[in-house]
Chains A and B, each alone.
Chain A
Amino acid sequence: MKNNSPFHRAASPREIPRREFLWRSGGGLGGLALAAMLGQDNALADELRMSGKPHHPAKAKRVVQFFMAGAASHIDLFDHKPELIKRHGQPSDFGEPVEAFQNGLGPWLKPVWDFKPYGQCGKMLSAAVAPLGAVADDVAFIHNMVGKSGVHSAATLLQATGFQLPGFPGAGCWVSYGLGSMNDNLPTFVVLPDHRGFGSNGVKNWDSAFIPSQHSGTIIYPGSDTPIADLFPHKSGSYLTTQGEVEAQQLMAELNHEHAASRAGDQRLDARIRSYELAAKMQLTAPEALSLKAEPEHALRLYGLERGPQTWPKEINAEEESFYFAQKCLAARRLLERGVRFVQVWSGNDNGFPRRNWDSHEDVQRDHGPLAMGMARGASAFIQDLKQRGLLEDTIILWTTEFGRMPSSQGGKGRDHNPYVFTNWLCGGGIKGGITHGESDQWGYKPLDRTKPTQVYDIHATLLHQLGIDHTQLTYRHNGIDRRLTDVHGQVIKAILS
């Protein structure tokens, strides 16, 4: 039994992963099998029970991932580079030939905003993200992140799924698969996309690929009429009534039970009956979970949401960005409180024109300005809110993006892609605050120590570690390989753990 868990190590040929085994075996395992089919169980807990081999105690239960689509500039937001300010306007010289996506290797371009120190730790942050100064002492910055590709799609996939090509489960899917749900009326893994639409690769960044589909990210649009697809009947179902829905549930349950009774031993039939009960529960819970109306005035003010939606100018602007990002942050907090395990919050749409994301080839100030302010206000409020509620202790927050941007200018005011170095930051869930781990070089072009970069595998390994999972042990066999979120890489970054 023990080797059939999703945590098997170097499984031998004839073993079936535990969930698949439970799915197939039907009878004899009762509620355990049923729960596994619905993704409701706690696989790690079961594993501990069955094998007596704990990975290690978890420091965190929940994850929130902020994802900046289009590639946010580390240099203009978090990674202070005095040398760049000094050399502003001088021809850029990287000391080696550089391959840039659009060959944007103009003169050195200083950060668009001024930096100043924040918190006890004195972390230098840009004016564009000033609101994050309030939580600087809670955050661990990593400035030596290195990617593998300067192409948006591949880079986004790498940060979201650990692989550069589509077809791999998102990080949240792995967490859902490994740890199961903490609720029975909401999804385990929720995605809050940018209000304008998806980033590169669309749903491939969070769908479950070869892992069963109940571990996919569920898309939720807070504040919209249909926040979850198909939660309530489509308008073509005008013939339905509230009372009729209750009767329909009853009738289906009766007929289904009757059908299952003559087919003893097939747990799927019971699981499906149960799934309709859960659906009805979700219909009751989700609207309440996503309604911001219940939030007290002071909470709304913390997030800057007290005025509600406004009529915004057509051009990208900080007020509108703040509203939408904060709305997602507040919804995320409410979902976490109700037992959602993994929430992914996106800022920025695909790589279109006019810019609707962080891909500031032409003008960093124009796009990064409003996006960064919106993100910083929402994220700062979110972190403060979690802290006040005692949720920050066991909620790990990761801020990430596709890659960084070049210290040289492109067309005077923009920056080209920089997959050679960028910034991530983490906080909560047992992460040490007020520290910086891993530096970039004087330009923010590559890691200061090029032999010891940090990679997404390390970030993911650390996330899983804080959740109590050894990243090398959480596997799923697909087309001949025991796949992991961290591929064959990954080191837990001990230096940022408290």
Chain B
Amino acid sequence: MRLRLRSLRRMALAASLALASHPLPAAVTFEHDIRPIFEAKCAKCHGADKQKSGYRLDVKSIALTGGDEHAPNIVPGKSAESPLIKFVTSQEDDVKMPPKDERLSPAEIGALKAWIDEGAVWPETSSVSVRDPLDWWSLTPLSNPAPPLNAPNPIDAFIGAKLAEKGLKPSAPADPRTLIRRLYFDLIGLPPTPEDVLAFENECRKGSSFLIRDAALETLVDRLLASPRYGERWARHWLDLVHYGDTHGYDKDKQRPNAWPYRDYVIRALNDNKPYARFVQEQIAGDALFPNTADGIEALGFIAAGPWDYIGHAEVSETKTDGKIARHLDRDDMAANTMGTFCSITVHCAQCHNHKFDPISQEDYYSLQAVFAALDRTDRKYYRDPDINARFQDLQLRQRDAEVAIAAIDDPLKVKAGEKYLTLSRSIDGASKAAANNQPNASPDYGYHSAITMQQDASKWVQVDLGRRVEIGTVTLLPCFDDFNKIGAGFGFPLRFKIEASDDPEFKTGVTQFWRRHDETFMADFKNPGLKPFSTSGAKDDGIAGRYVRVTATRLAERKGDFILALAELQVFDLAGKNVALGMPVSALDSIEAPPRWRKTNLTDGLAPAAPSADEKSELINQRDALLLSLADENVKSKRTALLSEAESIGVELKKLPKPNIVYAGGIHTGSGSFVGTGAKGGKPRPIFLLSRGQVTQPLKEVGPGALSALSFEPARFTLPPDHSEAQRRATLANWITAEQNPLAWRSIVNRVWQYHFGRGLVESSNDFGHNGAMPSHPELLDWMARDFRDGGGSLKRLHKLILMSTTYRQASASNPAAEKMDANNALLWRQNRRKLDAEAVRDSVLAVSGKLDLTMGGAGWQDFVIEHPEHSPHYQYDLANPEDSKTWRRSIYRFIVRSQTQPWMTSLDCADPSIRVDKRNESLSALQALALLNNGFILTQSRHFAERVQSEASDLSKQIIRAHTLALGHEPSDVDLKKLLAFAKSNGLPSLCRVLLNLNEFTFAD
């Protein structure tokens, strides 16, 4: 009450003095009058704990400038224009603030208005200070730290200095046997053979003990890095990051038969030690930056690697909300994948509002979406031969240009030609009047015609009685031709329909429906088929049979403002291929009986208009061209003729090329139906809008392509010419990411490599270098390595070697209580980390020791499942696969990766989920995992092969056991253990013993 009186008094005072010529002390003060209101009524959602819409009223700078789309919320001097006042005074549910709690009193509102009108004076001392989000380690330029001088290898110098700081000492080096096993799993993901172990041990032998000799280690590291197995192992890490898969995921989960060339590209790039910058650039814009290279196309598989909502694209057009959402999420995946993988930054958090923790604005986020705005996930054709590829690319480009140019001429002419043009087009799609009249029986017997309805969704049916139950092979529908209504070919052919068979003429019982196998998406509407027949067969396993076959239209064809079902002929072929419907009686829900043209019996009279011949069709096309040309002036005419002949000759040239390679990648899609892509518009990027709260229904403003404004080495919004190609957007982003000055990219990759070698990154959250992620444990080392890597040509193999040769890497993994007490997480690396092998390493190791590993590289993925119901939603049945199928004995990297039904055995071993970007595998242990390793057909089969292998390699049981033990674990069993193993093998057999070895902790962990 006191406040109210005082405020009112002050308001009156302020009003009366509003015109005073010199400033007076503010009548309302922030500290006394305003802050208490903010604290009492606003702070819950707009204060220190929560900042809804990124807005807070305890920080001056944000209060006066923030508020997302309403910003600024406070306009000093103008309370009437300040959104804040609108919110606190509104009575509308969606607008009012606070939305649920007690509202502001009139006096409080009055005080707020007065304070704003007086200039919203806010003393600096009354503001909570917030950190500058730009002041963050990962966004600062790479520093140039000199390694401390305590060790020859800079890595050891940095690590050693930090350990010394804490009074910790590094652990002793691991013995050669441990080290070689660690190196093998690290670099190639396979165990060393007993012979490899022995050789390395011998090289490191020093009297009765061992010493890791640099030269021996270097030879070993070089050999492993040069092995093709290296690329296979490390490509798996990369594919985890980019969430690669061989199916789309979501509903139906269709296969991507052409995804694998990207997987092979990654393996090859790593084996070839491709400079990292180029590796990045190729994956974002290889087509633009390295034209004419196979790598430049295959690498674009990166953009398409993640899951894709097939139904959301193929069945829902871009004009529908659900279609917009599907495409928005598609670009979101591309943007998040790009920035997450290469820059370790979480841009996807800025989809609905500015990033809550990092300096990433919503505009930054949508400008990244704009980079990919022209793209879809699609098959891209290319040639591995650069000469052919150059020719192919050139022809494709010219073809697209010609098509766009022709369309630019034709579109206005088509409008001019009007109905005439449309009629001719319909004829071209199907038939001509001539075709109909040329029938031997120049039939007036058109076909069956239903009653007319005003409801397009009315259900109409017509059926044939085959006279007896028939096993049905195929059903064919032939469309009508009608010249009376000037509708032409395909007259009355339904937009949606179904075909069923039954023994019940009422179709109430025993009804089986035909799959619409011709287009996979049985739900899609049909194009007017012209006079082309429509055929569908019963699925083999459905065994469709019945005496009656019924066609039911669920969405009728339009006549002229009303709707009908009409068909020329219904043919039902039995398994022998005979049309058993011919001449059989027809019944229908209703019918227009207007003989001879329309009557039910026409449906099975064997008379139907024929589809046009190629000659007739080209004649019609000529007619249509002539029509268009008659409306054009001479200049346009000659231009068009030239373009047409150009397009034709390009087509001829394209046909001369050999069969192209195909990769599933980011690209310009040219499609039909709901999934049209941007191809028809010459690959012009879709306009991208900043979406309020990430809602596709609430676009705010259009944004152009760009990157992160927090890094200022180049303009965040790309400056491209207005007529730039979409590829230029990607090329610009690729160059932005790989710029020398971009600290994120270089830190990101060296940290990832470090993580895979030590089980833990210098920054633990290797996909998040933002405020929500971890701080680097050794920032100087990170920067030194990043710089060294960047300036050394981005050589990953050089980086590996540097790390692997360090004494830090060579340390034993044994723990010690004193150090554990200081640093339980081993963040300072006073020892190596013992690693649990990942799913691929376990599987590949089992095959390696059983002697069955097939090292064939590359090509389509092997499949350890049987597909049921492939025609619609494939069921990937892993339990039906045969574990003795030797095609499945290749390395795990070549596995065909299904998204909706992940491989259960691999999944139980924490294999990466191909639906999410995985920077680090989870590690779990569970009863189900134990059961998988004990009982799965893979293990049981390979245990037997393992036993057979050692039986063929060693003479007696004891030697066989020693051999098996050494193969699996890298060393011979102790005498005590051998006794136990021998006893077990004697009573349970060698395969059973081999299964035990494969299940031991020691097999699954690398010290």
A207 adjacent to B554 (CB under 8 Å): no
Q: Which of B904, B984, B1005 contacts A247 (CB 8 A)?
A: B984
Q: Is B801 an interface residue (CB 8 A)?
A: no
How many residues of chain B get a CB closer than 8 Å to chain A's CBs?
124
How distant is the Cα of A275 from the Cα of B923 in the complex, in angstroms? Answer: 14
Q: Verify if A297 is at the interface (C-beta below 8 Å from B).
A: no
**Residues of B with C-beta under 8 A to A16:** 764
Interface Cβ pair total, 8 Å cutoff: 347
Give which listed residue, B873, B876, B984, B992, contacts A351 with CB less than 8 A: B873
Determine how close the nearest CB of chain B comes to the CB of A412; give it in whole angstroms.
3
Assembled-state Cα–Cα distance A451/B1004 (Å): 55
- Report A-chain residues with C-beta under 8 Å of the C-beta of B817: 27, 265
Residue from B250, B455, B515, B1004 within 8 A of A107 (CB atoms): B455
Given contacts A197-B875, A234-B940, A265-B815, contact A187 B928 (CB under 8 A): yes
Q: Which residue of A lies closest to B775 (CB)?
A: A14
Instruction: Tell me if B490 counts as interface (CB < 8 A to partner A).
Output: no
Cβ–Cβ contact B825 & A275, under 8 A: no
Encode A68-109 as 1/0 by CB contact (under 8 A) with B.
000000000000000000000001000000010111111100
Q: Which A residues from 190 to 248 make CB contacts under 8 A with B?
A: 197-198, 200-204, 207, 209-214, 216, 218, 226, 228-237, 239-241, 244, 247-248
Interface pair A239/B1001, CB less than 8 Å apart: no
Residues of chain A from 399 to 433 with CB closer than 8 A to chain B in the complex:
409-414
A121 close to chain B: CB less than 8 A: no
Decide: A263 and B814 in contact? CB cutoff 8 A. Answer: yes
Do the beta carbons of B988 and A480 come within 8 Å of each other? no
- Chain-B contact segment, one of A146-154, A301-309, A327-335, A379-387: A146-154
Give bound CA distance, A362 to B496, whole Å: 11
Cβ < 8 Å to A, chain B residues 669-727? none
Q: Which residues of B contact A38 (CB under 8 A)?
A: 925-927
Q: Could you say which residues of chain A place their CB within 8 Å of the CB of B765?
A: 477, 480
Is the Cβ of A244 less than 8 Å from the Cβ of B988? yes
Nearest chain B residue, comparing its CB with the CB of A480:
B346
Once the chains are docked, how many angstroms separate the CA of A150 from the CA of B309?
A: 13
Chain B contacts of A477 at CB under 8 A? 765, 772
Cβ contact of A480, chosen from B251, B768, B875, cutoff 8 A: B768
> Which one, B112-120, B206-214, B660-668, B895-903, is touching chain A?
B895-903
Say yes or no: A259-B1000 contact (C-beta < 8 A), given A13-B772, A14-B774, A212-B924.
Answer: yes
| Chain A positions 21 through 65: 1 when the CB is less than 8 Å from some CB of chain B, otherwise 0 | 001111110000000011100000000000000000000000000
Tell which of B458, B511, B834, B932 touches A315, judged by Cβ atoms closer than 8 Å.
B511
Q: If A13-B774, A241-B988, A276-B930 touch, does A202 touch B253 (CB 8 Å cutoff)?
A: yes
Q: Does B606 contact A (CB under 8 A)?
A: no
Q: Do the beta carbons of A479 and B340 come within 8 Å of each other?
A: yes
| Cβ-based interface call for A318 (8 A) | no
Inter-subunit contact B513/A213 (CB<8 Å): no
Contacts of B930 in A (CB 8 A): 272, 275-276, 278-279
Cα distance, A260 to B814, chains bound together (Å): 11
Are B770 and A279 in contact, with the CB atoms below 8 A?
A: no
Which residues of A, 101-143, contact B by the 8 Å Cβ criterion?
Answer: 101-107
- Decide: A233 and B935 in contact? CB cutoff 8 A: yes
- Interface set, chain A 465-498, CB cutoff 8 A to B: 477-482
Which residues of B in the span 509-529 have a Cβ within 8 Å of any Cβ on A? 509-513, 515-516, 522-523
- Assuming the contacts A252-B996, A252-B1000, asked whether A198 and B824 have C-beta atoms less than 8 A apart, the reply is no
**How near does chain A come to B826, taking the closest CB pair, in angstroms?**
8
Which single member of A23, A236, A268 contacts B941 (CB below 8 Å)?
Answer: A236
A414 to B497, CA, bound (A): 13
Closest chain-A Cβ to B329's Cβ sits at a distance in Å of: 6
A91 CB contacts on chain B under 8 angstroms:
455
Q: B1007 touching A13 by the CB < 8 A rule?
A: no
Q: Known contacts being A234-B883, A265-B820, A451-B93, is A152 close to B1000, with CB within 8 Å?
A: no
Contacts of B999 in A (CB 8 A): 252, 276
Which residues does chain B contribute within 8 Å of A275, judged by CB atoms? 925-927, 929-930
Does B349 contact A101, Cβ atoms closer than 8 Å? no
Q: Closest chain A residue to B1004 by CB distance?
A: A272
A28 in contact with B824 (CB, 8 Å): yes
| A residues near B875, Cβ cutoff 8 Å | 197-198, 350
Which of B326, B992, B1000 interacts with A256 by CB under 8 Å? B1000
For the complex, is A296 an interface residue (Cβ under 8 Å from B)?
Answer: no
- Kindly state whether residue A251 has any CB partner on chain B within 8 Å: yes
Residue B316 interfacial (CB < 8 Å):
yes
Interface presence of A361 (CB below 8 A): yes
When each residue 846-875 of chain B gets 1 if its CB lies under 8 Å from chain A and 0 otherwise, what string results?
Answer: 000000000000000000000011001101
**Structural contact, A167 and B915, CB atoms closer than 8 A:** yes
Q: Determine which residue in B817, B904, B922 has the highest number of CB atoms from chain A within 10 A of its CB, and name it.
A: B922
Nearest CB in chain B to that of A281: its residue = B927
Chain A nearest Cβ from B345, distance in angstroms: 8
CA distance A63 to B924 in the complex (A): 24
Q: Are B815 and A39 in contact (CB under 8 A)?
A: no
A149-B328 Cα distance, complex, nearest whole Å: 13
- Indicate which residue in B320, B836, B937 contacts A234 across the interface (CB closer than 8 Å): B937
**In the complex, A292 has a CB within 8 A of chain B:** no
**Counting CB contacts under 8 A, is A436 at the interface?**
no
B457 contacts across to A, CB distance below 8 A: 104-107, 409-412
In the complex, are the beta carbons of B250 and A218 less than 8 A apart?
A: no
Instruction: Indicate if the CB atoms of A201 and B249 lie closer than 8 Å.
Output: yes
- Complex Cα gap A89–B312 (Å): 31
Tell me whether A479 and B767 are in contact (CB under 8 A).
Answer: yes
How many residues on A have C-beta within 8 angstroms of the other chain's C-beta atoms?
Answer: 116
A254 at interface, CB cutoff 8 A: yes
Decide: A106 and B458 in contact? CB cutoff 8 A: yes
Q: Is the CB of A201 within 8 A of B1000?
A: no
A448 within 8 A of B: no
**Is B133's CB within 8 Å of the partner chain A?**
no
Interface string of A266-294 (1 = CB under 8 A from B): 10110111011011011100000000000
B455-471 interface mask toward A, CB cutoff 8 Å, 1 = contact, 0 = none? 10111000000000000
Question: What are the residues of chain A within 8 A of B309 when measuring CB–CB?
Answer: 151, 153-154, 165
B residues less than 8 Å from A314 (CB atoms): 510, 512
Q: With an 8 A cutoff between CB atoms, is A299 at the interface? A: no
User: Shortest distance in angstroms between A104's beta carbon and chain B's nearest beta carbon?
Assistant: 7
Q: What's the minimum C-beta distance from A335 to chain B, rounded to whole angstroms?
A: 15
Q: Are A25 and B824 in contact, CB atoms less than 8 angstroms apart?
A: yes
Determine how close the nearest CB of chain B comes to the CB of A4; give it in whole angstroms. Answer: 12
Give chain A residues whose Cβ lies under 8 Å from the Cβ of B925.
37-38, 214, 268, 271-272, 275
| B957 on the A face (CB < 8 A) | no
Cross-interface CB contact of B873 among A252, A352, A410, cutoff 8 Å: A352
Instruction: Report A339-371 CB contacts with B as 1/0, cut-off 8 Å.
Output: 000000000001111100000011000100000
A237:B940 contact, CB within 8 angstroms: yes
A412/B554 in contact, CB under 8 A: yes
State the CA gap A432–B506 with chains docked (Å): 46
Residues on A with C-beta less than 8 A from B910 are: 212-213
Which of B315, B824, B834, B932 is within 8 Å of A230, CB to CB? Answer: B932
* 12 A-B contact pairs sorted by A residue (CB < 8 Å): A39-B924, A107-B457, A153-B309, A197-B868, A229-B932, A247-B984, A248-B984, A263-B834, A275-B925, A276-B930, A412-B554, A482-B772
Closest 4 pairs (CB-CB, A-B): A411-B554, A480-B346, A202-B900, A412-B459
Using CB atoms and an 8 Å cutoff, list the residues of chain B in contact with chain A: 49, 93-94, 249-253, 307, 309, 311-312, 315-316, 320-322, 325-326, 329, 333, 340, 346, 348-349, 357-358, 455, 457-459, 496, 498, 509-513, 515-516, 522-523, 552, 554-555, 764-765, 767-768, 770-775, 813-815, 817, 820, 824-825, 834, 836, 868-869, 872-873, 875-876, 879, 883-884, 899-902, 904-905, 907-908, 910, 913, 915-917, 919, 922-932, 934-937, 940-941, 943-944, 977, 980-981, 984, 987-989, 991-992, 995-996, 999-1002, 1004-1005, 1007
Given A153-B311, A352-B869, 14 more contacts at CB 8 Å?
A27-B815, A37-B924, A101-B316, A106-B458, A149-B325, A197-B875, A244-B992, A263-B1007, A268-B834, A282-B928, A350-B872, A352-B872, A362-B554, A411-B459
